[in-house]
């Protein structure tokens, strides 16, 4: 998701008229440098201009138009060079770019901003970087022809320095650096006191970004190489070394990496070992997206791909980042994100997509995928995958399970599916196992969800016996005032992810919606609440003794005095797919229309589960939860700018609610047998 483009006024350029030749001098600021030709000694990297170097200069600003001129040099191997132009120079502001810029405009504050492009395909050069690859910027309020008053260039990029050893180092032909955020492509800078400052919150329309950079060439062992990267923050990264014949080896890091402008990150020597791994080995690695810094032990979740071919795995990783960003931008996951280890596991499928069924479980079109995901072409109630394959894969390759930190029962699984059909479902087990299936619906296009079309007229239990006449007497059509009160949620597949994974799979929450135009009723207890790992504690069949009574209802006056948003708490009839006989704690939440908002009681339950999985349940209390609770609903409460950021689509396809989670009781003898099998040596 690109940041905001609103408020940018694009600028145009015109060539400055031909004039008398003008020569001035240009050098570089005294800082760790990354441009243009590196001359290395044991302590520093000097930057030298190269004969034929040129840069572009914008000046003579009038409204939204500027004049442009090119300056060139014949100097070679010098830190300060003479540059000449044959254009007339006017104005008092000169913005210079080596080797060029892509766009310019003005932001909402009237500042000049400039688009820069860094190629994601780069060519290796022993001991340096490709000529013209780096980007540099200079600003002046006037140009001088005196060498004592040169134009000072500042570098815009960061360099990653490394060398390789091992028997296969000289066989490497391609190195791919993949970060948790954009590291190449388009970005925007503005001038701050003569220094180029990256503006990560702004992009021009049509901008493209890449989370990877590919460095290709004939590499040698024990030789310094550099990769040019955009400045920014990475939560994790990895490097893949390939021999160009389909074999590769992977080096990854879960450490955060700060890429600073005009600074060199020295990775030292990377040890590659003695052999590559063939791509047909199946498993492609575990990328650590997030590392826990709090808790007795980490809370671990994993992401797995379904229906992504080998060539599409980079797309999967970007989708995984987008989905995880949405999850950890939603409370209470946002507040407690430092307690999580998150792994993105990679494994290719033979074909793209997922199998198609007749809507009743029988496959009508087979797509060869790793976990055999399938559901109906126009329905999604029979959505499923091979659960044994899912759990076996994660049990074998999740680092925290392999190291004995957690069992498979303690690691919720997020499956992202390379299929544009609408869908989403969660499979949950009494012993704690669970995985949520989330397709990339409409290829990321807009989706809208709404409140059910009928509502009960009472939050009291229905009079008995509950006859058809009673059902008909206690409902009404939802009014516009009802819709206005709860709001309309617009979003995309990431909202499905937060509902299916954040709500069902991790939070163990039940659905709180009911069916449109269906007068259904139940008097049964809520399924799963008595499991070893309870399910659906956000619902009740006995409103007088609701699970949230002691913590919330009995303290409602005090809570409302703290934050008026707590006045949304109550006991409201409807939920678990029933219009009558089920009660929930708030009128609207993620478990109804997939908004990025969990109710107060849901936030409490999710937080308690976080502390349980991190081994710190003895440190959890209502008071500790309340002290950090964040109550805002982005649909009803956040300002227009934030809401616009969340709702970035212009058109939305209305869809209905997804099917409830599939609940499975696990027999204890089968459970113990599976544990024994897990402990046996391979």
Write out the DSSP string of 364-406: EE----SS--EEESS--TT-B--HHHHHHHHHHH-HHHHTTSS
Q: Are residues 232 and 317 in the same domain?
A: no
Rounded CA separation 254/388 (Å): 28
Residue 674 predicted with pLDDT over 80: no
Q: Are residues 327 and 275 in the same domain?
A: no
Domain count, the chain: 2
For a pLDDT cut of 90, what percent of the chain falls above it? 69
Model confidence band, residue 229 (pLDDT cutoffs 50, 70, 90) = very high
Rounded CA separation 526/289 (Å): 35
Residue 644 predicted with pLDDT over 70: no
Q: Are residues 264 and 322 in the same domain?
A: no
pLDDT at residue number 31: 60
Poorest-confidence range of 239-253, 554-568, 584-598? 239-253
Q: What angle do CA 622, 628, 633 make, to 5 degrees?
A: 105
Domain end position, chosen among 247, 281, 315: 281
For a pLDDT cut of 70, what percent of the chain falls above it? 90
Mean pLDDT over the full length of the chain? 88
190 neighbors 114 (Cβ within 8 angstroms) = yes
> pTM for this one?
0.62
pLDDT at residue number 243: 86
pLDDT at residue number 276: 57
Q: Quick check: is 164 in a domain?
A: yes
Q: Are residues 536 and 663 in the same domain?
A: yes
Residue 45 predicted with pLDDT over 60: no
Q: Are residues 370 and 277 in the same domain?
A: no
Q: Quick check: is 3 in a domain?
A: no
29-39 pLDDT, tens digit per residue, is 766 444 334 44
Q: Are residues 475 and 417 in the same domain?
A: yes
Q: Are residues 392 and 270 in the same domain?
A: no
More confident residue, 256 or 80: 80
Which residues form the domain of 271?
9-281
Q: Give mean pLDDT, residues 550-557.
A: 97
Q: Quick check: is 89 in a domain?
A: yes
What tokens appear for 97 in the block? 């770019």
Q: Are residues 104 and 133 in the same domain?
A: yes
Quickly tell me which residue has 């005009």 as its tokens: 262
Model confidence band, residue 283 (pLDDT cutoffs 50, 70, 90) = low
Cα 288 to Cα 71, 320, 327, 347, 667, distances in angstroms: 46, 11, 16, 15, 33
Q: Quick check: is 293 in a domain?
A: no
pLDDT at residue number 165: 87
Q: Are residues 319 and 272 in the same domain?
A: no
Enumerate the H helices of 567-639 as residue ranges: 590-593, 600-613, 622-628
Q: Are residues 378 and 512 in the same domain?
A: yes
Q: Are residues 419 and 457 in the same domain?
A: yes
Beta strand pairing status for 225-229 and 355-357? unpaired
Q: Quick check: is 514 in a domain?
A: yes
Q: Quick check: is 635 in a domain?
A: yes
Model confidence band, residue 238 (pLDDT cutoffs 50, 70, 90) = confident
465-486 pLDDT, tens digit per residue, is 999 999 999 999 999 999 999 9
Poorest-confidence range of 117-121, 152-156, 202-206, 501-505? 202-206
419-457 pLDDT, tens digit per residue, is 999 999 999 999 999 999 999 999 999 999 999 999 999
More confident residue, 30 or 540: 540
- CATH code of 414's domain: 3.40.390.10
pLDDT at residue number 82: 93
pLDDT at residue number 275: 62
Rounded CA separation 442/417 (Å): 12
């Amino acid at each position: 998701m690109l940041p905001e483009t609103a408020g940018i006024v694009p600028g145009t350029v015109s060539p400055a008229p031909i004039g008398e030749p003008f020569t001035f001098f240009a050098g570089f600021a005294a800082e760790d440098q990354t441009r243009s030709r590196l001359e290395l000694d044991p302590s520093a990297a000097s930057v030298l201009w190269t004969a034929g170097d040129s840069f572009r200069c914008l000046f003579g600003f009038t409204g939204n138009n500027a004049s442009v001129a090119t300056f060139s040099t014949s100097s070679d191997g010098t830190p300060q060079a003479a540059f000449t132009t044959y254009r007339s120079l006017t104005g008092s502001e000169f913005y210079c770019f080596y080797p060029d810029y892509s766009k310019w405009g003005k932001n909402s504050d009237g500042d000049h901003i400039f688009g820069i492009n860094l190629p994601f395909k780069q060519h290796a050069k022993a001991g340096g970087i490709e000529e013209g690859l780096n980007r540099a910027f200079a600003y002046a309020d006037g140009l001088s022809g005196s060498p004592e008053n040169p134009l000072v260039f500042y570098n815009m990029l960061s360099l990653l320095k490394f060398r390789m050893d091992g028997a296969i180092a000289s066989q490497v032909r391609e190195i791919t650096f993949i970060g948790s955020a954009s590291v190449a492509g388009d970005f925007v800078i503005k001038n701050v006191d003569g220094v180029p400052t990256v503006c990560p919150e702004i992009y021009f329309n049509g901008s493209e970004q890449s989370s990877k950079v590919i460095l290709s060439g004939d590499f040698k062992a024990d030789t310094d190489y550099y990769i040019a990267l955009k400045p920014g923050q990475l939560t994790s990264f990895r490097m893949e070394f390939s021999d160009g014949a389909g074999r590769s080896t992977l080096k990854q890091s879960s450490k955060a990496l700060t890429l600073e402008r005009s600074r060199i990150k020295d990775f030292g020597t990377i040890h590659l070992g003695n052999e590559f791994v063939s791509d047909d080995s199946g498993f492609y690695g575990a990328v650590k997206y997030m590392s826990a810094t709090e808790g007795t032990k980490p809370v671990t979740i994993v992401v797995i791909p379904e229906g992504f071919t080998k060539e599409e795995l980079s797309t999967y990783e970007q989708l995984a980042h987008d989905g995880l960003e949405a999850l950890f931008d939603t409370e209470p996951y946002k507040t407690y994100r430092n307690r999580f280890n998150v792994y993105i596991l990679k494994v290719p499928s033979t074909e793209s997509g997922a199998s198609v069924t007749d809507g009743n479980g029988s496959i009508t079109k087979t797509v060869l995928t790793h976990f055999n995901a399938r559901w109906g072409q126009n329905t999604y109630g029979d959505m499923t995958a091979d659960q044994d394959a899912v759990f076996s894969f994660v049990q074998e390759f999740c680092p925290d399970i392999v190291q004995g930190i957690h069992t498979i029962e303690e690691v919720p699984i997020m499956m992202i599916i390379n299929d544009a059909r609408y869908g989403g479902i969660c499979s949950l087990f009494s012993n704690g196992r669970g995985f949520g299936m989330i397709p990339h619906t409409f290829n990321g296009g807009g989706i809208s969800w709404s409140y059910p079309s009928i509502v009960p007229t009472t939050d009291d239990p229905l009079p008995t016996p509950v006859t058809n006449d009673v059902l008909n007497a206690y409902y009404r059509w939802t009014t516009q005032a009802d819709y206005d009160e709860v709001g309309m949620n617009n979003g995309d597949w990431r909202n499905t992810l937060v509902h299916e994974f954040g709500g069902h799979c991790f939070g163990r929450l039940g659905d709180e919606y009911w069916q449109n135009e269906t007068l259904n009723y139940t008097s049964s207890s809520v399924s799963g609440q008595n499991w070893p790992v309870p399910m659906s504690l956000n619902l009740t069949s006995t409103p007088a003794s609701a699970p949230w009574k002691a913590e919330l209802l009995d303290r409602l006056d005090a809570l409302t005095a703290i934050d008026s948003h707590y006045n949304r708490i109550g006991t409201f009839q409807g939920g678990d797919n029933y219009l009558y006989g089920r009660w929930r704690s708030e009128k609207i939440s993620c478990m109804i229309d997939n908004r990025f908002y969990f109710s107060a009681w849901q936030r409490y339950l999710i937080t308690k589960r976080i502390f349980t999985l991190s081994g710190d349940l003895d440190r959890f209390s209502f008071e500790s939860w309340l002290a950090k609770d964040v109550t805002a609903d982005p649909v009803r409460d956040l300002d227009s700018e934030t809401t616009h950021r969340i709702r970035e689509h212009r058109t939305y396809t209305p869809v209905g609610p997804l099917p409830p989670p599939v609940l499975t009781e696990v027999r204890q003898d089968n459970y113990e047998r599976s544990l024994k099998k897990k402990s046996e040596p391979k």
